[in-house]
Amino acid sequence: MANTPQAKKRIRRNARRADINGNRVGRIRTFVKRVEAALEAGDKTAAAAALTAAQPEMARGVAKGVFHANTISRKFSRLTKRIAALG
């Protein structure tokens, strides 16, 4: 258990940040699922629109330090390739 005031403050802060970061991860996953659902349906225009909406969220996740840059880059690249393959 934390003994110093600073350690107690860190515990409180870490708990708040974990909630915020968890919500951000969930939001990004939802955007990616929308793209994948459109891909499964075979709707190229909807998938492209969903990817366009997902890109800023994914980039924000990288900027906030929730995801590694390479992870988001890989996900975006793979989704883009799947959309292009629908054509």
- CATH value at residue 29: 1.20.58.110
The whole-number pLDDT of residue 27 equals: 97
Residue 70 is predicted with a pLDDT of: 98
Into how many domains does the chain fold? 1
CA R_g for the chain: 17
Mean pLDDT of the chain: 96
What is the C-alpha separation between 79 and 51, in angstroms, rounded? 8
Q: Which pLDDT belongs to residue 2?
A: 83
Q: For residue 25, give its domain range.
A: 5-86
Annotate 35-49 with b (16+ C-beta within 10 A) or e (fewer).
Answer: beebbeeeeeebbbe
Segment 39-55 shows an average pLDDT of: 96
